[in-house]
Amino acid sequence: MRNRDLSFWLFLSPVLLGLGLVVIVPLIIGIYYSFTDWNGLNASQFLGFENYIRVFQDESFRSALWFTIKFSVVTVILLNALGLGLAILVTRNIKSNNFLRTVFFMPNLIGGLILGFIWQFIFISVFDDIGKALGIEALSGWLSTTNTGFWGLVILTCWQMAGYIMIIYIAYLESIPHDLIEAAQIDGANSLQRFKNITFPLVAPAFTVSMFLTLSNSFKIYDQNLSLTNGGPFDSTQMVAMDIVKTAFTSNEMALGQAKAVVFFVIVALIAITQVYYNKKREVDM
């Protein structure tokens, strides 16, 4: 038993070492620097909570945080609805199942920067040409306003991640016993009743996983935001990750940027933990 325990920790040690060096240690050092006047090279003075006070007084940070929250709420709802819908579609007995799964998952393999530039071309050039050809003014000037920039980011994110979330729901849908579905059919339950009373409760664990992934991903988006709108117009579509980067590397206020990152980490962690707690509780009740 002792040998088994030792081998277990030996195999696990590279992962723990990597986690500590890449995540835990930088996090602790970053929290320390957020209380100082760190300029990227050294920290000569301890400032206490001065940087954190500046964070909450920063209008650009509050605006970026509010924009990020709105974006995250919309994308989490749409991504889970799309992911579940696609999963239901490709788990039906049709010949093109495997082909459809591949097609729906492929956008997730493309990098965020490349996707941003591709969709920027679509929104600006393709939409504009279609709008002129059909006489639809609403299609012209996409990404030039806060509203169209917001929905452009939502469309891009949903297009990229829907296939990934679909895979998670497929795993749970395919684990549902066919006997339950057949018994419900024999009892006269229609497709909506079967979904509501059998399928939906049994895929509840998938909602926990998918909501955690979509929440964390939506909050920390940077590369898509950079390549699609670059925060414009007038920083109105700037998300928190971009605001932190600009504060640290454009304004050269490293300590303030680190304080923003710590505040952002705490907010995302609290939201994610709360979501997992209530979803797990719902799973137990079911």
Q: Are 113 and 101 in contact (CB under 8 A)?
A: no
Q: Is residue 4 part of a domain?
A: no
Q: Is residue 7 part of a domain?
A: no
Q: Residue 32: its pLDDT value, please?
A: 93
Range of the domain at 100: 54-285
Q: Is residue 21 part of a domain?
A: no
Q: Is residue 252 part of a domain?
A: yes
Number of domains observed in the structure of the chain = 1
Residue-wise pLDDT tens digits, 183-197? 878 877 787 888 878
pLDDT in tens, the chain (286 residues): 455 677 777 888 899 999 999 989 999 999 999 999 888 788 778 988 999 999 999 999 999 999 999 999 999 999 999 999 999 888 887 788 888 888 999 998 887 788 889 999 999 889 888 888 888 887 888 888 899 999 999 999 999 999 999 999 998 888 888 888 778 788 777 878 888 788 888 888 888 889 889 998 899 899 999 999 988 888 899 999 999 999 999 888 999 999 999 999 999 999 988 888 887 776 644 4
Q: Is residue 196 part of a domain?
A: yes
Give the CATH number for residue 133: 1.10.3720.10
Q: Is residue 153 part of a domain?
A: yes
Q: Is residue 207 part of a domain?
A: yes
Q: Residue 63: its pLDDT value, please?
A: 94
Q: Residue 4: its pLDDT value, please?
A: 61
Q: Is residue 235 part of a domain?
A: yes
